[in-house]
Amino acid sequence: MNPAVKSAAEYAAKRGMKPYVVEWGLRGLIEGWIHEVTGERLSGILHRGGTVLGSSRSKRFFDIKFREQAFQNLKERGISKLIVVGGDGSFNALNQFYADFGVPFAGIPATIDNDIAGTDYCLGVDTALNVIRQSVDSIRDTASSFSRAFVIETMGRHCGYLAMTSALATGAEVCLVPEIPYDLDSIAERMREEKAHGRNYLLGIVAEGVGMGESLTRWMGDALGMDARLTVLGHVQRGGSPTVYDRIMAFKFAVAAVDALQAGDTNRVITFKDGTFGSSSINEIADSKHAVDPNLIRLCENLSR
């Protein structure tokens, strides 16, 4: 998120706008934690993971009196347009804010699950994938050295994108995700055959939404007669210095967001589809169901059976 904040503020200034930043998200709008951008505030944030501005959910923002307080905070500073870096929850909150007070916004999709409808890519995904890849590569060293089976659980409540992409990138033998029906009997037969031909370790990657991390680990021990361990990567996936790809994508998303607002667009989420940047209305995003690329699913089907 930090590269997006830096790029949006600097580009907006070049286009003659006076940029501000809001600390702690929706809560910051209510509390008035809004600051004019300075070079010092943006300096040294490009390489930092997470967000220097902070992020928080705010139940109070669903109360009209607190949204009115947020609007007054913006009005006092002469702020007439907003850019929000986040997911569906943030976009819907700002959409309600627009309905109440007419403050237009442009959304930049940022969620490591990569599960926002209408866009092929969300900021943070490549960084998360590289964190997972590094972790799995390290676990493979232990698995091969001690002839063990390891199950690695990635984030992804309803979307298996991280697990599928990571499984392919790291050469995992098993992958369980919400999008693909799995067959443990078939997997066991395949693994026994591979063991008979010399395989002495096994890696399985599971999306948290499947709820099979512990069960698959026990199953590997029982069905395959292997010493099996589970590693839940958890929130380590949300950290790490942004990759080059995420930094460049952040700049492009930010430029598109500023341009959209200056063109008079309202309630638009910036999208990246088939290699091209565009935008969709928040209603289009909310009414559409996200689906993982069918080609990615096909590539992973053999790892689920």
**Dmax of the chain from CA atoms?**
73
Return the structure tokens found at 236. Answer: 């380590």
The question of whether 113 is a catalytic residue gets the answer yes
Q: Which amino acid is at 126?
A: D
Residue pair 1/124 in contact (Cβ under 8 Å)? The answer is yes
Q: Work out the number of other CB atoms within 10 angstroms of the CB of residue 215.
A: 15
Handedness of CA 298, 300, 302, 305 (dihedral sign): negative
Catalytic residue among 113, 115, 126, 246: 113
Residue 158 C-alpha from the chain's centroid: 12
Q: Which helix (H) or strand (E) holds 11?
A: helix 2-14
Q: Which amino acid is at 222?
A: D
Residue 185 CB burial class (10 angstroms; 0-12, 13-18, ≥19): exposed
Q: Catalytic site residues?
A: 113
